[in-house]
Amino acid sequence: MIARSASISRHRPHQGEDMKPISRPRYALGFVAAAAALTVLAFPAVSGGQVPARSYWKSLAGSNAVPVFFMMLSGNSNPFDNAHIVVPAGQFDATVAPVGFMHTFALFDRSASAAIFVPMGRVGATVTTGVITVAQQASGFGDPLAEFDVNVIGKKASKTMPNLLLYEPGFAVDVLMDLGIPIGEYDASKPLNLGQNRWFGRVATPIVWQLGPWVPGRRTTLEAVPSLWLFGPNSDYLGQTLTTDPMFQLEGHFTRDFAKDLWGSLDVTWVTGGKATIGGVAGESLNNLALGYTLGYKINDNIQTTFGYMATVNDNQPGDLQMDGFKLSVVFGWNPLVEGLKRIKGSE
């Protein structure tokens, strides 16, 4: 990961014929997992905004999702810091377990979602200068991340089961806003922290382009997420002021179904900018590329899991950002309407 930084029937009713979603609930239930896919947005809080593929597929309005993640990250920058100041002689190792809650809804007939995510875990670092090695650890909670996403180009929000049955992304563009809230654990006397003692956030335009037919087992998409990250000052960073220039980030994903419930993605992320200044002394701007992959599997109508790996590739120089990591997620998603239909079906 870069740090820093159910075949869906296309049946259309004949004139005078009513749609009968109860008779085919599993087709619609498969899309409850799409709500789970949205919740992978928990990653921005701890990995510079790198979001797994298929994060912006749309689900039925009124869906909810609770994600549980596990990540193992290592490199020469603190994975809990979205600005990712490179420490050339440093080695950071982190175990991160973010949790969150997301709710989808319709906003003026457009698909929208709101979410809150809380990163937690531990991070250790060693810095070697000459023959002296300094080690430090931190654990607890990082800065929560609030997020709002709304679709601006694409299909209208799916507010009914018939709408959902006919859903295809086509070409879709969203507007997304993240805001990091600086209430995570922070000790101004230590350089290594989970909280960052400053506001941060981003504005992004996630894009999903459907390639070919929208049939489970054959779904293919090309996805991109250009983002602009902004960072407020930390006025108490080891007794000095830390500022960071805006950072531009571009993510890309090529995704393809391998089977009805199994898919994969090839992932790439590029970041540039984000020069940090500490006490008036400026560092270097970032210009980093990372490659990786993601595998996703729908366990049942409510639970899906993803596994991924990503690593920087242009990181041969001591001052380059060097980061890699494994990511595992298990997400539980549900929609009251769909759950009601399941109960009705079960009582037949």
Quickly list DSSP for 121-186: EEEEEEEEETTEEEEEEEEEE---EEEEEEEEESSPP--SHHHHHT---SEEEEEEEEEE-S-S--
Rounded to the nearest angstrom, the gap between the alpha carbon of residue 23 and the centroid of all alpha carbons in its chain is 34
Percent of the chain at pLDDT > 70 equals 84
Helix extents (H) in the chain: 25-29, 32-38, 44-47, 161-165, 336-347
Q: Mean pLDDT across the stretch 280-298?
A: 92
3-state class (DSSP) for residue 45: helix
The residues that bridge with 281 in the sheet, in sequence order, are: 278
Asked whether the predicted pLDDT for residue 208 surpasses 60, the reply is yes
> Can you tell me the distance from the alpha carbon of 137 to that of 124, in angstroms, rounded to the nearest whole number?
4
Q: How many CA atoms lie within 13 A of 100 on its CB side?
A: 35
Assign 21 a pLDDT band (cuts: 50, 70, 90): very low
At 205, list the tokens: 């335009």
> Can you tell me the distance from the alpha carbon of 2 to that of 282, in angstroms, rounded to the nearest whole number?
23
Domains of the chain, with CATH numbers? Answer: 21-347 (2.40.160.40)
Asked whether the predicted pLDDT for residue 150 surpasses 60, the reply is yes
pLDDT averaged over every residue in the chain: 84
pLDDT of res. 124 = 93
Asked whether the predicted pLDDT for residue 28 surpasses 50, the reply is no
The dihedral through the CA atoms of 72, 77, 78, 79 has a sign that is negative
Asked whether the predicted pLDDT for residue 221 surpasses 50, the reply is yes
> Can you tell me the distance from the alpha carbon of 56 to that of 270, in angstroms, rounded to the nearest whole number?
19
Q: Mean pLDDT across the stretch 59-87?
A: 89
Asked whether the predicted pLDDT for residue 123 surpasses 80, the reply is yes
The one-letter amino acid code at 347 reads S
pLDDT of res. 129 = 65
pLDDT of res. 334 = 92
pLDDT in tens, 290-344: 999 999 999 998 999 999 999 999 888 878 889 999 999 899 999 998 888 777 8
Kindly list the distances between the CA atom of residue 96 and the CA atoms of 120, 240, 282, in Å, as whole numbers in the listed order: 6, 28, 30
Closest CA to 192 of 285, 79, 312: 79
Provide the whole-model pTM.
0.83
pLDDT of res. 343 = 79
pLDDT of res. 340 = 82
Asked whether the predicted pLDDT for residue 5 surpasses 90, the reply is no
Closest CA to 210 of 107, 334, 58: 58
| 8-state DSSP, 41 | G
Least confident of 42-46, 73-77, 128-132, 299-303: 42-46
The residues that bridge with 200 in the sheet, in sequence order, are: 180, 231
Percent of the chain at pLDDT > 90 equals 59
